[in-house]
Amino acid sequence: MIVAAEQKSAEVTDWAARIGWVVGLLAFVAFVYWLMRQGWKWRGSLQSDLPELPGVPAEPGDTKLAMTGRYHGSTTAGQWLDRIVAHGLGTRSRVELTLTDSGLAVVRPGAQDFFVPVGALREARLDKGIAGKVLAEGGLLIVTWAHGDKLIDSGFRSDHAAGQSEWVDTLNDMIKTTEGTAR
């Protein structure tokens, strides 16, 4: 006796439903990115009272220290999660730091350069984190400086981390010397 093979139909894919789900997911992701961008712009408008950043002078003086590395952002001093985005201070980038007798030149390819006059420097320390970036203890060079009526912490990571402690010592010595002559 011959038994007929069981009939089996091919699986049918509902392409309209799949395409609908993919389009919906892409629209949701685009909406989330749009919300993030709006939040960034809103934060910038809240910080619009921050004065324009001083530019790097044409003749800053003799170089005491120089470093290449990464700029990881700036925050309100003492509040490592309160990122400052006004005037491009929230933009991460490569950085070339140059310390002279007149101050700290921060040159950032692809982002706005700025200069911190020696009189505005307040403190330098090694720390482990700044808004959105956490490293091993002592992995970031944090420079505290005054801009307008606000104290700002800016975070840098050297390409050669061993030299960061020299930066801390030199900056803090300059700050003490400046405070001593200001009295």
Q: What is the pLDDT of residues 67-106, one digit of tens each?
A: 999 999 898 888 888 888 888 888 889 999 999 988 999 9
Pairing of strands 93-100, 133-134: unpaired
Q: Which residues are CB-neighbours of 64 under 8 A, at least 6 positions away? A: 99, 100, 101, 170, 174
| pLDDT confidence band for 152 (50 / 70 / 90) | very high
pLDDT in tens, 23-43: 999 999 999 999 998 987 887
pLDDT at residue 7 in the model: 72
Three-state DSSP string of 98-139 = EEECCEEEEECCCCCCEEEEHHHEEEEEEECEECCEECCCCC
CA angle 40, 42, 48 (to 5 degrees): 105
Whole-number Å distance between alpha carbons of 23 and 168: 52
Nearest to 153 by CA among 170, 141, 166: 141
pLDDT of 183 strictly over 60: no
Smallest CA-to-CA distance from 103 within 65, 149, 51, 77 is with: 65
The pLDDT of residue 182 is above 60:
no
Specify the pTM. Answer: 0.75
Residue 163: pLDDT over 90: no
Tokens 């005054």 correspond to 146
Of 180 and 95, which is predicted with more confidence?
95
Give SS3 for 143. Answer: strand
